[in-house]
């Protein structure tokens, strides 16, 4: 939380062209939790090398839904890359769910994957391996340093747009064209 008490949960962090970090360059991260101890989020535009079918197989979960099994699993961030995170909509939480916003959850438990495999999971969901984290004051400083653009979260960016379009579309939601944005930053 910054000195004005603002929390950035349920906002998208969009990497500005000036951010030259091999992991976060051109990334879009949903901030799922932000408080005085730091922030945690999940990148929503970085595909991993895995499909959901491979994850189901590794976990011993059966699914007959070929489209679901073909869904790309995202690389959610460099923290806990062995751990699965499911960002989903819906009117109820599963075990180990964090409510990001009304009707938007981040769940780390197996039961959401089992429900998805059975066909009675949330309508919209993305699965990611790993998450992103910032220590106390770190995210605020990175925003001051012009590493990120912060915009309100949008369901279409999270769930409907093709992965390759999410970076530009997220910034475009507030009228910014990142392809025409300077690749350096400075302060007057």
* Integer CA distances (angstroms), 155 to 82, 144, 159, in order: 26, 26, 6
Res. 186 pLDDT band, cuts 50 70 90: very low
Mean residue pLDDT across the chain: 91
Mean pLDDT over 36-46 rounds to 96
Q: Report which of residues 65 and 93 the model is more confident about.
A: 65
pLDDT at 104: 96
Among 3-7, 33-37, 72-76, 143-147, the range of highest mean pLDDT: 72-76
Question: pLDDT per residue over 118-131, tens digit each?
Answer: 999 999 999 999 99
Flag whether pLDDT at 112 surpasses 70. Answer: yes
pLDDT at 6: 56
Res. 93 pLDDT band, cuts 50 70 90: confident
* C-alpha–C-alpha distance, residues 142 and 71, integer Å: 32
What distance, in Å, lies between the first and last C-alpha atoms of the chain?
Answer: 26
pTM here is: 0.90
pLDDT at 33: 96
pLDDT at 179: 78
Question: pLDDT per residue over 47-62, tens digit each?
Answer: 999 999 999 999 999 9
């Amino acid at each position: 939380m910054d000195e004005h008490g603002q929390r950035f949960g349920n906002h998208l962090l969009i990497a500005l062209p000036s951010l030259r970090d091999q992991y976060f360059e051109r990334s879009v991260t949903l901030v799922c939790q932000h408080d005085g101890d730091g922030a945690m989020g999940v990148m929503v535009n970085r595909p991993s090398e895995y499909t959901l079918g491979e994850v189901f197989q590794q976990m011993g979960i059966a699914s007959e839904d070929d489209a679901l099994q073909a869904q790309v699993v995202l690389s959610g961030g460099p923290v806990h890359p062995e751990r699965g995170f499911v960002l989903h909509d819906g009117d109820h939480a599963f075990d180990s769910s964090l409510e990001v916003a009304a009707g938007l959850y981040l769940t780390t438990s197996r039961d959401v994957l089992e429900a998805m495999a059975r066909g009675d999971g949330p309508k919209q969901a993305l699965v990611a391996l790993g998450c992103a984290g910032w220590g106390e004051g770190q995210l605020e400083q990175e925003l001051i340093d012009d590493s990120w653009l912060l915009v309100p979260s949008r369901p279409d960016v999270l769930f409907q747009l093709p992965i390759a379009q999410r970076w530009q579309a997220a910034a475009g939601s507030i009228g910014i064209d990142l392809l025409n944005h300077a690749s350096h930053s400075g302060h007057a």
